[in-house]
Each structure stands twice: as structure tokens, then as C-alpha cells.
A and B are shown apart, each in its own frame.
Chain A
């Protein structure tokens, strides 16, 4: 992965406020954040597995974690930046679906 690359992050989704968006919830280490994201940025794999398209930024000084930029800021933190375990980030969803 390289800075500015688009990658996929697992999430939960539900209906959004607008028709063209979803409410997205991301759980990292038992902590939850939520945001709204355009539906075009969300992919479903199988029946229940959802992924959100985020921008990879790089190291953030925390072991095995990477910083990503979310499509909009989270309600709970007021920030669009998120530190996530590296293993959660997927470059290619087709590999998961296969």
C-alpha cells in the first residue's frame, strides 16, 4: 500500500439520512465510531460483510496500525482520521469474495 491509495475497511452499514448514503459504523478494538458515507463507497461481500472505501495514509507511530482518511468525519471523535490495525485493510475485495 502507498499513501493516497484507496483501500477497503470492514464496517457495518444501515440506512442513511439521504437516499444516496449509508450510516456506517466502524469498530476498532471494541471502540465504535460512526459516519455517513456515499453508497458508492460501500461494497457488500456475501450476505453480511460490508467494506468502506477509505484513503490509506501510512504509518502513524503505533505498532501494526496505519492511518486512514474516512469519507467524512466521525460523530464520536469529530475527526476523519482513523488508526486501524493494518490487517483490516484490503487492497482487493475480489480476493475476499473468491
Chain B
């Protein structure tokens, strides 16, 4: 069940989950909508880069390190925003951090979804396009996968309302280990311990 603005504030006050850095706690005002709360753009943009031909194979190890080595971090400021040109893909973070803890059995857990904002959608800006779910157990800033599908450049300004967070109750306890490990040959699956990608 999706939480209303009033229920979000009640839950925040009870501490069952946290949204750190939220601008206000009045459910009738910004950043709250009827059943969501807006989050703001953080002050860093990450541009994935690769200047040589690569075929990425996720079955190989070291993928996180590979992307860290093949990306550029950019600090943005209100007076020095980032211009997202059409068809360009970047990563960003929300200014707010969230905490959706897994509570011991019997206590309500929550998860959330990131969705875009209609105002940005009209400009052709996607703030996520495939991974909206904030699972129970997650804590930290929310990473946005952004792309400009519009026809004009779009300024990404830190602090702007960039996405909305929709919060839902998780039915049942997520603390039981999943069945995926039963009968598994090794601990982490069939992952060859080799380099992440080949030219």
C-alpha cells in the first residue's frame, strides 16, 4: 500500500524509516505531494566514459572498479550547473539520503520507488529508466540514471526537485534467506574470476 503524505510524515516521526535532509515536515507543503515526497538533486554528476572499445561482460569480476575507473566526477553548483545535452547519459545522486531498515520480525518494513516528475518529463528528462526500487534494507543517497530524450539542452542545478519518492509497506518479513542459495554449487554463483571486460 502506498503511503499518503500524512502517513509518510507519521512514519518519519516514528523513525521506522528516515529521509535525511528533507526540506520540511509539513505534509501540505513542498516537498510533499498527495502520495509522494520530492527529493532534490545532489551536487555531483558522474559521466560514464570509455575511450576505447569495450564489450562489458557482467559475469566477470571487478565491474564496479571498472566503472569507477571509467567515469568522470563533476561538482556542480547553482552558479555552475551541468548542461545535459540530448541523448547524453549521466548519473547523479539525490541530496537527501534515505534509510529503509529491515526490522526484526513483526515490525513493519518499508520500501520505496523513485519516479520522475511530470514537469521534467515534459522536457524529455528521464531521472531513472530501469531501476526505481529502493528495497527494504537500503540506506544512503539514491542514485539517478539520467538521460535527456528531449530536443534541447537541460540544466541540472543542485537542489532542484529532481524526482519523487513513493513509499510502500512491505508485507511480511524480508529477513528470511531467499531460496536461491539452496543447492548452489558455490557461494556467489558461476562467476569466472577474470578481468571485467575485453577490448
Contacts and interface: CB of A to CB of B under 8 A. Distances in A.
Interface residues of B, number: 44
A31 B175 contact: no
Interface on chain A toward B: helix, strand, loop, or mixed SS?
strand
Contacts of A67: 177-178, 181
A31 B184 contact: no
Interface on chain B toward A: helix, strand, loop, or mixed SS?
loop
A61 B61 contact: no
B104 interface: yes
A61 B63 contact: no
A51 interface: no
Interface string B125-167: 0000000000101111101000000000000000000000000
Interface in A5-54: 14-21, 23-38, 40-41
Contacts of B91: 17-18
A33 B81 CA distance: 35
Given A67-B177, A71-B139, A79-B180, A19 B191 contact: no
A4 B62 contact: no
B188 A77 contact: yes
10 contacts: A4-B102, A16-B64, A16-B68, A27-B193, A32-B188, A38-B139, A55-B137, A59-B177, A81-B178, A83-B181
Interface of B: 44, 46, 48, 58-65, 67-68, 71, 73, 91, 93, 101-105, 135, 137-141, 143, 175-178, 180-184, 186-189, 191, 193
